[in-house]
Amino acid sequence: MTRVVLLGAPPGPISPPPPGGQPALPADITLKSLPGAPSAYDRLLAQAAVMDPQPTTIARPGDAAAYRRPYGRVVESPDVAGDLRALADVVEGAEENLLILPADSLVHDELLYQITKAKRGAIALVVREQRDELEDESAPELVPIEEAAPEIGDKVIEGLPQRTRIGRSRIISVGTAYHAVTRPNAALLGPLHLHQRHLPVLAEVARELADMAHLFGPEDDVTELLVLGLVRRGVSVGRRGRRDLFFRRVRSQAEADEALAEMAGFDEDRARLDNAVKGADGFFTTFFVSTYSRFIARWAARRGLTPNQVTLISIALGLLAAGAFATGTRWGAIAGGVLIYFAFVFDCVDGQVARYARKFGVLGAWLDATFDRFKEYAVFVGLAVGATVSGQFGDGEGIWTLALVALALQSVKHLLDFSFGAANRRKAPVPLPTLDLTVADDRPLREALEERRASRSTGVRGILKLWTKAGKFRPVHWARKMIVFPIGERFAAIAITAAFFDPRVTFLTLIVWGGIAATYTLTGRLLRSLA
């Protein structure tokens, strides 16, 4: 379960009033085009109740009655300091993850799901500064970031202050009316998700920030303050944008009507389907399977097929492929190549069905991991039997030797992968620099980050960093994906070489490519262990 807190008091204005005049409570804004025409607050509360049967809303005393519903609870707070203390009280001692949402949020269900299921221990939704290319050409050249002075930004994005500095994957610094930031380039939209291990830090910084509330401006949002505190306490807060999903804070009826019209232009189901496909798959899987397997997954999910049932289809196809290879005939080899390809397609589909239909289980994860190897090794046996039956290679002893070498090599590679993954999870992350909340600008934090970056750019770490940077070039990126010989490339190599050549070529391909992959992987593991 995820504990959900809704913030009922929006930040004060830093920009012109919203279309339609003065801001309205989300409980008074009607979403006319949605079924039942719920209020913006009722819709969000229903979305929150899926994760937390009793979501908490923090609201001003004068607004509390508008937020009360048969389920959930409302905590009254007179000001921002009270909001922070109330939030600290809610999360103190909590054993669940936490999702904080502004009560005026209009958001897709899928976006909430993606935020709460992100692997990051802390993640915030941001909107990045948009630069107009024509304006950039005529604008004065910016000084280098290391020479830039911290500032309290007065720019606005979607009615929110642009006072956040984001990097490639995380939030670097956050500002307020008191805290200056070096070249802010984004605004925090409001949603913030935290793993339970960060909740004690959140409660601590919330209370400390509450004591500093007199320094903040009316435009300073509670989530903005919380992210400021977390970053300055050394918590790595990841950042993500809306991508192909919708989020907007609505402050009036006219703004809500406009947002609903914009929201209708988004295909949430397609975004959910695309999210069901792993983003880090290999070259063959990405371009020759996932381009259409997602549609098979949606078809299967809509007809009630479970991921485990799809896994059984994949296993059956793998065994049929092994049987076809075992015939030792050319047509058997071609049929085996086709069957092993579709066995892999359905191996991808089972995970996509699980992610699309939200059906996860320990049994499914075990079946998927175990029977991937089972299918692969069954095909090895089928190829060796077929080579023996055909009589093309004498008594087949040499082919069986190659099969055993290929099987042993692949087993060792899997052992390296799993053992390193287990060891790496026990490795404590390098701590980020910290900065006291009373310091008015982020210059000391920026300097500490530069020192940390410099110390991690020498020796083995420097080599790994350069290799990571090389991945931004697409040919290098895909070469790195292919060299490790992932399962998609292995099944493709088996299908192609068996269909067009003979089992000896298949096993030699597996041994040579597998040996290169094992060497590359082992080298990388050693370097990362020494870094």
Q: Give dist(CA 96, CA 92) in Å, integer.
A: 11
Can you read off the two tokens belonging to residue 106?
């209009």
Nearest Cα neighbor of 383 from 499, 303, 295 is 499
Give the model's pLDDT for residue 462: 78
Amino acid residing at 323: G
Tell me, what's the pLDDT at 394?
Answer: 76
Q: How far is 486 from 529, CA to CA, in rounded Å?
A: 22
Side-chain half-sphere CA neighbours of 25 within 13 A: 19
What predicted TM-score, i.e. pTM, was given to this entire model?
0.89
Q: Answer yes or no: CATH 1.20.120.1760 is held by domain 276-530.
A: yes
Judging by beta carbons within 10 Å of its beta carbon (0-12, 13-18, 19+), is residue 414 exposed, middle or buried?
Answer: middle
Axis crossing angle, helix 503-530 with helix 397-426, rounded to the nearest 10: 20
194 has which bridge partners?
A: 98, 122
Cβ contacts of 343 within 8 Å, gap of 6 or more? 314, 315, 317, 318, 321, 375, 491
- Whole-number Å distance between alpha carbons of 236 and 68: 35
pLDDT, residue 135, reads 47
pLDDT (tens digit, 0 to 9) for every residue of the chain, 531 residues total? 899 999 998 887 665 665 555 678 999 999 999 999 999 999 999 999 999 999 999 999 999 999 999 989 999 999 999 999 999 999 988 889 999 999 999 999 999 999 999 989 999 999 998 765 444 445 555 667 777 889 998 899 988 999 999 998 999 999 999 999 999 999 999 999 999 999 999 999 999 999 999 999 999 999 999 999 999 999 999 999 999 999 999 999 999 999 999 999 999 999 999 999 987 889 999 999 999 999 999 999 999 999 999 999 999 999 999 999 999 999 999 999 999 999 999 999 999 999 999 888 777 777 777 778 889 999 999 999 999 998 888 777 899 999 999 999 988 888 877 777 666 666 666 789 999 999 999 999 988 888 888 777 777 777 877 877 887 888 988 999 999 999 999 999 999 999 999 999 999 999 999 999 999 988 888 887 776
- The domain locations on the chain are 2-133+187-271, 276-530
105-107 and 150-151 beta bridge pairing = unpaired
Please give, one letter per residue, the 3-state secondary structure of 355-401.
Answer: HHHCCCCHHHHHHHHHHHHHHHHHHHHHHHHHHHHHCCCCCCHHHHH
Could you tell me the end-to-end alpha-carbon distance of the chain, in angstroms, rounded to an integer? 37
Q: Ramachandran region of residue 447, left (φ > 0), alpha (ψ -120 to 50) or beta?
A: alpha
Please state the CATH superfamily assignment of the domain spanning residues 2-133+187-271 in this structure.
Answer: Spore Coat Polysaccharide Biosynthesis Protein SpsA; Chain A (3.90.550.10)
Task: Say what angle helices 330-357 and 268-275 make with each other, to 10 degrees.
Answer: 120
Q: How far lies 503's CA from each of 248, 474, 486, in Å?
A: 58, 33, 20
